[in-house]
Each structure stands twice: as C-alpha cells, then as structure tokens.
Amino acid sequence: MSNNESSLKPTNFIHQIIEDDLKNNVHGGSVVTRFPPEPNGYLHIGHAKSICLNFGTAEKYQGACHLRFDDTNPEKESQEYIDSIISDIQWLGYEWTGEIRYTSAYFDQLYLWAVHLIKEGKAYVCDLSPEEAREYRGSFSEPGKNSPYRDRTIEENLSLFEKMKNGEFAEGECALRAKIDMAAPNMNLRDPMIYRILHTNHHQTGDKWCIYPIYDFAHGQSDAIEGITHSICTLEFEDHRPLYDWFINNLPVPAKPRQYEFSRLELNYTITSKRKLKQLVDEQIVAGWNDPRMPTISGLRRRGYTPESIRRFCDMIGVTRSNGIVDMGMLEAAIRDDLDSSAPRAMCVTQPLKVTLTNMAEGVEEWFELPAHPKDESMGMRKVGLTRNVLIEQEDFIEEKPVPKNKKDKWKRLAPGDSVRLRGAYVITCNEVIKNEAGEVIELLCTYDPATNGANPEGYKPNGVIHWVSEELSVPCEVRMYDRLFTEANPDGDKNRSFMDCLNPESLVVLKEARAETGLRDAPAESRYQFERMGYFSVDPDSSSEHLIINRTVTLRDSWSKSN
C-alpha cells in the first residue's frame, strides 16, 4: 500500500494521536507498533483489521512494526498456529521489522521484574485457592477483601516465589499477585495475579519454566522492552489500561509505551472468536481452519479473496472507538470490485444439460476468439472451441416459459422452438426435447445458424445470450458453491440458542459434473476467474490436472441484501 493510498483512510483516530505525538516529540519522534497474536488459533478477519492498523500505521509514518507472539499460555498454543500466522501476515503483504519476537524470550527479564516488585513490597505470594481468590475479589458494587497472605514479609515472598519457580508447588497452590488496592473501583487493580504455576512444556522454552506471567504483566513490559511507542489493542482492554500503566510506572522499564484501544471488527453472518472457530474445526463442521467458509485469513484466501481486497476492506471500515457490526456485504463488495477488474473471464457450466447441434458434423471443431476481459485488452484473447456436442446450464432451458408479468419481462434463455446465442459463437434454435423415462429433460436437439458468427440472425431474434462449453473440448471439474456459513445475521446474538443452531445447511453445495472451457486445463491453484453469468471463482489448492477443483468466491451480485 502506498502512502498516498493510506492517507485516504476515512477515519482513523490513532493516526490523529500519532500526528499530535510527532508534533510534540512525545516518543522522540518515533513510531513503533506491534502486532501481538497469541498462537492459539488461526488469524481471522478481525485480526486483519489489527494487522492493517499496526503495519499500515508504521508504513504511513516510516516507523517500525514488530511481530510478537504473545505466548504466555503454552497449553493452548502450538507451532502450527505460529507458522500459519506468519504465512497469513506475509500473504497480506506486510513485513515486520527485525526478527520475529516472542514474549517467552523475555521470561528471564519478566521474572526479574516480578522479583523487583516483591523487593519493593509491591507483590506477594498468595495461597488463596482460585475460588477463594474470586470471593475475596468482591464485585462491581462491593470492594474486595485483603488476602490473609497480603502482609507476608519481603523475604518470605522472595523465598516462596523462588520455590514456585523451582517447581516446588502444584498448579493452583499459590500465585504471585501485585499489591495494589483491593478496594479499587477498577477490579483489574484489586491485587491482580501476575504469575501462575503451570507444569506445562512450552513450545519455545521447553521445560525451563513452570511459572508463567499473566497477559497483563507480560504485555506492557514486552512493549517496553521492544521500545513500542503506541500499543494498540481492542476496546475490551480499556479497563486494563490503568494496570498497564501501573506496571510501567512501578518497574525500571527502558521505555514508556502507551496503550490505545479501538473497536473490534465484528462482521455479520459469521463469528470472529478463535475459540468458536476452533469449535467448528474440532467438531468437523468445516474442513479445517482454512475451509473457504471460515472468516480466517487462510479460509478467505482459499475462498479466492485477494490480499488487496482484504486491505481495501480494512481501509473502508476505518478505525474508531465505537462498536458496530459491519455488513458482510462490504467484504464481499471489496472482493467483487477487485476481481471485476483483475479476473479473466471464462465459461463454466456447473450443472450441464446436453445440447446436440444436429447440423454440425461429428469430429468438427470450430474455434472462436473471445476477449479474456471485456474492458481490458491487455489481458489478450482466449480460444473457445465448439463441437457438435455442447453443454449448457440446466437452468438456461425451460420447457414452458413463465407468463410475462409485463412487456419488459421476458424469458431470456432457451425454450422449445426458441433461439439463443451461445456466448461468442452462433445462435442456436431448439427443435426437439428428449426426456428420460422419469420425464426429465436429458438432451436438446438444436441447430446452429452458420450466418450468425459475429452477425445478427436474419428474420428472427434470439431470446438472449447464454454460456456454454463443448463436451469434448471442456475440462471436467468439481465446483464448490460456497455461501455464508450462518443464516442469521448475528449467530451469537440470541442467548436461547447457540451459534451452532444457525449454521447454513447450504453453505457448501458440491457440483461434480461441472465443465469449464479448455483454457482452464492445468489452471494453477489460486488462479481466479469470473465465470460468465455465474460469479467469481478460484482454483482450490487441492486441485490437480486430474481433478480440477474450483471454489466459488462470491456471486456476481449481492443476493443476500434483497432476500434478507
């Protein structure tokens, strides 16, 4: 993204703050942001907003943006997630500054800072059980009570914390807490836990640690270590900011980062919670994290989204502090816009009906040249071959035409005795309809008009133009028609049901008899097309020259806004 383009951003209050900071030389004139994913799942479209904001901001102000894995919960984290996050960020087109960073790389320093707090009388080892600690914490309307362990001596705390570190306690037996104020109106300041015992191997540090810092303790200090100037996170951390600042102000940290919050991206007709997305994967509702119906970055990629379309979408929605739900139609419009100009056109018949051109000899091939893009000559021409055996879309034939509602309302496709133009080729006329024993139409006997190649027919008018392929010259393929995963705009919006109750049963319809025009033979994975009259499609990475698999990215027009 060029600076030019990013300065067109509609609203971005963070940029306002940064510009003021730069003017007032707040962080010595530098801008350092970070994207801090927890490697406990794949990134989703909400993360894309955060990525575009953090990396985009650094780009805009010639600053730096770090990638830091916030890896303080080893039980839920894995290398698989780390790898997927790295590849998603790269695919989106962003580069982090310097090495990939890990919160776990700071565990030694964080430990020393915890000891520092103990030595200052600002942290203590507490033996309350998790249930007791909850009780002591009070509520929004009631202050908490001091833990009976709050007044342990510094020496005792140092020795207990060391024992915690040395693995001498079981999980949950005790924890290190900051000593702040059990009556603070902000519950996050009621002696929050800063270290807990976890006898778990860590994907980066192995078995070195059996105590792990809590997010609130690790995050701000990691920001300080890295010299982050603007630590941008989502609004649910607003109430944590006083704690973020408390640690920064009570520790000998090398820098004073500041936290700013913006509103999360919520998209309708989907969910953006890693936990719930994981449930869809674990319960095999979808075929994995990168199932094309998932709002994950890897799912969108497999669905056929381009990095540009996702970045454009993030630009369009802006960055504010007000919560709102963005319409999925906006994301779909972003990819439609992109592919309208960038995707070559092709024809694919998804549910074929056989058409025999009775006046064309067997074995004859006739080739037509069609533009790859109607508005972009630079994309060149493509060759489409016609033979006696043609396939058209079942939907493009009707035995009995519907009664027109008005003068303009007219059947634009094929019907017995009627004519249509085969896109880019001849006009054909349907002379006979052949049915099977069940009474289903299985074949049409048609004639083509040899005088209509690039010319209007004499004395009659075709109903319209339809897409088609030659049976012999086309490429068999499996077309996966994807649609939205949920039928409800807000799958999580009703307490009386689970998001699992509003899955769209038609979110995937597999059409195995489809046939695409010749040019799609050996189409590489992720190549994208507009199939004329059908929508935008992308070749699935599981596709091979023996078995072409094509995913529908999005329909040509928004079919949801009208029906819902």
| Interface residue list for ligand ATP (CB under 6 A) | 36-38, 46-47, 49-50, 233-234, 264-265, 272-275
Q: What angle do CA 397, 400, 405 make, to 5 degrees?
A: 100
- Contact status, residue 551 vs residue 482, Cβ threshold 8 Å: yes
Task: Report, in Å, the least distance between residue 192 CB and ligand ATP.
Answer: 18
Gap between the Cα atoms of 95 and 86, Å rounded:
10
Neighbours of 429 (CB within 10 A): 17
Gap between the Cα atoms of 450 and 428, Å rounded:
9
234/429 with CB nearer ligand ATP: 234
273/358 with CB nearer ligand ATP: 273
Please choose, from the candidates 327, 263, 291, 264, the residue with its C-alpha nearest in 3D space to the C-alpha of residue 503: 291
H or E segment at 390? strand 389-393
> Is 264 labeled as catalytic in the residue annotation?
yes
- Contact status, residue 213 vs residue 107, Cβ threshold 8 Å: yes
The maximal CA–CA distance of the chain, rounded, in angstroms, is 104
Gap between the Cα atoms of 125 and 264, Å rounded:
35
44 assigned binding-site residue: yes
234 assigned binding-site residue: yes
383 assigned binding-site residue: no
95/236 with CB nearer ligand ATP: 236
Gap between the Cα atoms of 333 and 340, Å rounded:
10
301/421 with CB nearer ligand ATP: 301
Task: Report, in Å, the least distance between residue 82 CB and ligand ATP.
Answer: 11
Query: Which of these is catalytic: 264, 354, 423, 533?
Result: 264
Query: Which of these is catalytic: 34, 196, 274, 303?
Result: 274
What pairing do the DSSP bridges indicate for beta strands 348-349 and 230-234? unpaired
DSSP state for residue 394 in the 8-state scheme: G
DSSP state for residue 151 in the 8-state scheme: T
265 assigned binding-site residue: yes
Task: Report, in Å, the least distance between residue 277 CB and ligand ATP.
Answer: 7
User: In the complex, which residue's CB is closest to ligand ATP?
Assistant: 46
Task: Report, in Å, the least distance between residue 128 CB and ligand ATP.
Answer: 27
329 assigned binding-site residue: no
- Contact status, residue 226 vs residue 101, Cβ threshold 8 Å: yes
70 assigned binding-site residue: yes
Helices and strands (H, E) in the chain, number of each type: 14, 27
410 assigned binding-site residue: no
467 assigned binding-site residue: no
163 assigned binding-site residue: no
Gap between the Cα atoms of 305 and 308, Å rounded:
8
Neighbours of 163 (CB within 10 A): 13
Query: Which of these is catalytic: 38, 162, 308, 513?
Result: 38
Q: What are phi and psi of 156, to 5 degrees?
A: -60, -45
215 assigned binding-site residue: yes
Q: Which residue has the tokens 């190649």?
A: 453
Task: Report, in Å, the least distance between residue 280 CB and ligand ATP.
Answer: 13
Q: Write the DSSP string, 403-426.
A: PPSSSS----SB-TT-EEEETTS-
125/280 with CB nearer ligand ATP: 280
39/535 with CB nearer ligand ATP: 39
H or E segment at 265? none
Amino acid at site 472: E
271/390 with CB nearer ligand ATP: 271
Structure tokens belonging to residue 388: 């006696």
201/273 with CB nearer ligand ATP: 273
> Is 274 labeled as catalytic in the residue annotation?
yes
Gap between the Cα atoms of 11 and 312, Å rounded:
14
Say whether 537 sits in a helix, a strand or coil.
Answer: strand
Binding residue ranges for L-glutamine = 70, 215
Binding residues: 38-40, 44-50, 70, 215, 234, 264-265
Give catalytic residue positions: 38, 264, 274
Which residues participate in the annotated binding site for ATP? Answer: 38-40, 44-50, 234, 264-265
